[in-house]
């Protein structure tokens, strides 16, 4: 596998992801699509991730493992793009789980749609314990996806993206100056190379956990996203209103933790995930025990029929 061409390269940077990385690796190795190489860039991990990756690399020749000092996410992504041997590059994060059909569905889609330069897919949101919270629907159609991107709404979930390497290189790959919004910035530039798409199928379990981008980092992220959209509008000669003005992950303060526990809890409840909704009712109560909102969520999760499955 290491010495021959493949049709798809899976690119996964890893930095201190020991808790989740084994499941992420196994989810790629267990795909029902076999014609791929698995590029793993260990970005100077110090938590034991490197030893886990070494073990998998010894056992599976599809893995190409690069280990070096820490350089950051964008540098790792661009390094992997340069190393990729395949015409299609699939992104993967070290804390997510790819569903078994993911690579096949997206590779087939790109093969059938030469006008598309990047295709994402649907996600199930899970938490740090693997509990399902909800399914996030994805935008369909190039026009709608481009419209959302110009509004700063990141319509392709980064670890679901499969891209044409040729188009990524033509667009200039990831911009180191756009860290925290490197995905949206690249989608906007790729959207000037060809069409953007999402397959309708759910292809990934996307994990939210305390080590994810915090609300504090989220404010800096929004500044970068605003800049990416402004640059894209200038390049295209169009006007668009930036609408992504609120972080969607909790910060360290109790009010933020309470607000997001309620948000995720009601997402879970409305998706038929009663067990998850109970857990987030408890989190909301722990953050603000005298607020009735958390108690309401918990009671509903305990005794009220869930509204719908989804």
- Residue 292 pLDDT more than 60? yes
Q: How does residue 212 score in pLDDT terms, banded at 50, 70 and 90? A: low
Please tell me the distance from the alpha carbon of residue 256 to that of residue 108, in angstroms, as a whole number: 41
- Categorize the per-residue pLDDT at 307 as very low, low, confident or very high, splitting at 50, 70 and 90: low
Q: What average pLDDT does the structure give for the chain?
A: 93
For residue 8, pLDDT over 90 is answered with: yes
The answer, yes or no, to whether residue 278 has pLDDT greater than 80, is yes
User: What pLDDT shows up at residue 119?
Assistant: 98
Say yes or no to pLDDT of 172 above 80.
yes
Residue 274's pLDDT is 95
Inter-residue contact 232 to 178 (CB < 8 Å): no
Q: What is the mean pLDDT of residues 122-142?
A: 96
pLDDT of residue 1: 46
Q: 17-21, 251-255, 282-286: which range is least confident on average?
A: 251-255
Dist. CA 308–CA 310, nearest whole Å: 6
The mean per-residue pLDDT over the stretch 174-198 comes to 97
**Does 213 have pLDDT greater than 60?**
no
Residue 248, pLDDT score: 66
- Mean pLDDT to the nearest integer, 31-55: 97
Angle in degrees, CA 244, 248, 250, rounded to 5: 145
**123 touches 50 (CB < 8 A):** no
Contact between 81 and 165 (Cβ < 8 Å): yes
């Amino acid at each position: 596998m290491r010495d021959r061409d493949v049709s798809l390269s899976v690119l996964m940077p890893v930095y201190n992801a020991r808790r989740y990385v084994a499941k992420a690796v196994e989810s790629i190795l267990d795909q029902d699509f076999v014609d791929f190489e698995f590029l793993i860039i260990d970005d100077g991990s110090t938590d034991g991730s490197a030893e886990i990756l070494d073990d998998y690399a010894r056992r599976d020749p599809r893995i190409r493992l690069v280990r070096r000092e820490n350089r950051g996410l964008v540098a790792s992504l661009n390094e992997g793009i340069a190393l990729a041997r395949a015409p299609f590059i699939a992104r993967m994060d070290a804390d997510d789980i790819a569903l078994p059909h993911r690579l096949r569905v997206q590779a087939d889609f790109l093969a059938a749609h030469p006008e598309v330069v990047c295709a994402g897919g649907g996600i199930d949101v899970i938490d740090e314990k693997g509990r399902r919270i909800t399914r996030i629907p994805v935008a369909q159609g190039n026009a709608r996806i481009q419209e959302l991107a110009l509004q700063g709404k990141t319509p392709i979930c980064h670890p679901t993206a499969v891209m044409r390497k040729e188009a990524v290189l033509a667009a200039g790959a990831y911009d180191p100056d756009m860290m925290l919004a490197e995905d949206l910035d690249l989608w906007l530039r790729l959207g000037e190379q060809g069409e953007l798409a999402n397959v309708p199928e759910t292809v990934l379990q996307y994990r939210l956990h305390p080590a994810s981008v915090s609300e504090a980092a989220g404010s800096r992220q929004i500044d970068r996203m605003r800049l990416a959209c402004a640059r894209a509008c200038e390049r295209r000669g169009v006007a668009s209103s930036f609408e992504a003005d609120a972080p969607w992950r909790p910060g360290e303060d109790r009010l933020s933790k309470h607000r997001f526990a309620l948000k995720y809890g009601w997402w879970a409840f409305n998706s038929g995930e009663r067990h998850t909704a109970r857990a987030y009712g408890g989190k909301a109560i722990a953050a603000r025990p005298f607020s009735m909102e958390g108690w309401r969520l918990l009671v509903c999760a305990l005794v009220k029929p869930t509204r719908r499955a989804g």
